[in-house]
Every structure is written in C-alpha cells, then in structure tokens.
Amino acid sequence: MMFFRRKEEKFVSPMEGTLIRLEDVPDAVFSEKMMGDGFAVELTGGCITAPVSGVLESAFPTGHAFGIRTREGMEVLLHIGLDTVQLKGKGFEVQVRQGEKITQGALLAKVDLNYIKSAGKSVISPVIFTSGEQIEILKEGAVKNGDAEIVKIQNLEK
C-alpha cells in the first residue's frame, strides 16, 4: 500500500496592491502588533482570496474581516481596510460562509475600493498571524493575489 504525503502549502498573497510593513499601518492595534505579527497590503484590486487552505473560523457579516485556521493550527486574520466595520457591509460582497472549508486561492470577498475610499476609509488591509507566528517580509512593493514568497513564517514553540 502506498501513502502519499500531502504537499506542504506555501502562504500566498490574499490581495493585490502594495505590500507594507505592519509597523507602518496607521492603526495602533495593528502597528503595535497587539493581535499578532503580520503585514498589510494597500489594495489596488478588489478581490480577496484565501492565502491558505483551512476552515473559515470567522466571516464577519459586514464582510470586512475573515479568520482562517489551517489544518496545522495556524490562524490568519484578513482585515479589509481600516475602520471599515463602520460601513456595515456596504462595499463588500462576501462569497463564503463561516465554518466552510476553503482551499487556497478561493474567493472570499469582492470589495468596491472606490466606495470604501469615498466613505473616507483606508484600503490598507492588515494580514495578521493570530496564532503567534512571526514573519519576515521577503518582497516589497507590488503584490498580486496568489503571489508566493512574499513572507517567511516562523512558527514559535508554544
């Protein structure tokens, strides 16, 4: 009998835009890493995709944030824009439901960037590793959905 090892999945960019350091995000909750380490993308594209496969642990009804837990236990929070919860779902078209199993690259939401900007909200979107990993940014500048090798993830012993 043959056993096949599951190929280890690499983390990919969930958004299109300009990758920026978390410390440069104009919101202290994120820039001071209160929720965990990560990075942010200043959006230029409106599709938000899954950076990893796993279970969608949280999908806010407003469409502004998603939490994914991988089979290995890594948890990733995607927060679309800053203070966008105040938009009460306007400008967001959610494509998934909480509790769903999702595969890497799956479309999570479509975002109307023009609406978000016209409402006076930032399109800087933090990606946070809430399960304690630390990251090193490997790529600067423009990223697209699905780009690999953008960050190196270091798992910490718990």
User: Is there a contact between 50 and 14 (Cβ–Cβ < 8 Å)?
Assistant: yes
Alpha-carbon dihedral 33, 36, 39, 40, rounded to 10 degrees: -80
Question: pLDDT-derived band of residue 146, with 50, 70 and 90 as boundaries?
Answer: very high
Burial 63-96 (b: 16+ CB within 10 A, else e): bbbbbbbbeeebbbbbbbbbebbebeeebbebbb
Residue with tokens 């109307």: 112
User: Is there a contact between 66 and 109 (Cβ–Cβ < 8 Å)?
Assistant: yes
Mean pLDDT score of the chain: 93
Spatial separation of the C-alpha atoms in residues 41 and 123, rounded to whole Å:
8
Q: What is the pLDDT of residues 98-134, one digit of tens each?
A: 999 999 999 999 999 999 999 999 999 999 999 999 9
Domains recognised in the chain with CATH numbers: 17-154 (2.70.70.10)
Whether residue 57 has pLDDT greater than 50: yes
The percent of residues above 70 in pLDDT, for the chain, comes to 93
Catalytic residue among 79, 80, 84, 128: 79
Residue with tokens 């105040």: 86
User: Is there a contact between 41 and 19 (Cβ–Cβ < 8 Å)?
Assistant: yes
The number of angstroms, rounded, from the C-alpha of 46 to the middle of its chain's C-alpha atoms is: 13
Whether residue 1 has pLDDT greater than 60: no
- The set of residues, in sequence order, having a beta carbon less than 8 Å from that of 91 and lying 6+ positions away, is 63, 84, 111, 112, 115, 116, 119
- Gyration radius from the chain CA atoms: 15
Please tell me the pTM assigned to this model.
0.92
Q: Tell me, what's the pLDDT at 9?
A: 74
79 part of the active site: yes
The percent of residues above 90 in pLDDT, for the chain, comes to 89
Q: Tell me, what's the pLDDT at 3?
A: 52
Question: pLDDT-derived band of residue 156, with 50, 70 and 90 as boundaries?
Answer: low
Q: Tell me, what's the pLDDT at 158?
A: 43
